């Protein structure tokens, strides 16, 4: 008997290095989307993240970038939690389309549990 592989990948739009007033301004541009903002340890700035859970969310973030341009580095952040020390992740086509449209970096985090 085999047990199913446990894997969880989350994909976020992430901005690093925003000041608190920039976080507030960009948050307003994102309508009612849930936004996580955390102060960076030992820094005076913040990291802002929005989970890219659907094409609609990607559209709202893309529109927000058009109306509220950012000077801080941004991009896609992929977090993979898995039971295996050798694993992979496949991104949904709408994530790839979003990345091509808005640009920025793409970072990956890999955690074995």
Ordered by start, the domain boundaries in the chain are 7-112
8 A C-beta contact, residue 76 and residue 14: yes
Helix, coil or strand: residue 1: coil
Give me the pLDDT at residue 2, please. 45
Give me the pLDDT at residue 6, please. 57
pLDDT at 104 exceeding the cut of 90: yes
- Per-residue model confidence as pLDDT tens digits over 17-29: 999 999 999 999 9
Q: Return the higher-pLDDT residue of 98 and 82.
A: 98
pTM: 0.85
Q: Which helix (H) or strand (E) holds 49?
A: strand 46-51
8 A C-beta contact, residue 10 and residue 79: yes
pLDDT at 77 exceeding the cut of 60: yes
The 3 state secondary structure assigned to 11-44 is EEEEEEEECHHHHHHHHHHCCCCCCEEEECCCCC
- Per-residue model confidence as pLDDT tens digits over 31-69: 889 999 999 999 999 999 999 999 999 999 999 999 998
**Which numeric CATH code is attached to 7-112?**
3.30.70.240
8 A C-beta contact, residue 76 and residue 105: yes
Residues 80-101 have a mean pLDDT of 87
């Amino acid at each position: 008997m085999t047990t199913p592989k446990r894997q969880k990948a989350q994909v976020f739009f992430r901005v690093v290095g925003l000041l608190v007033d920039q976080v507030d301004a960009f948050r307003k541009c994102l309508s009612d989307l849930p936004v996580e903002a955390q102060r960076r340890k030992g820094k005076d700035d913040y990291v802002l993240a929005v989970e890219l859970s659907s094409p609609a969310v990607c559209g709202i973030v893309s529109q927000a970038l058009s109306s509220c341009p950012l000077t801080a580095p941004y991009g896609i952040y992929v977090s993979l939690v898995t039971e295996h020390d050798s694993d992979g992740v496949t991104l949904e086509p709408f994530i790839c389309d979003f990345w091509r449209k808005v640009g920025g970096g793409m970072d990956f985090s890999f955690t074995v549990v």
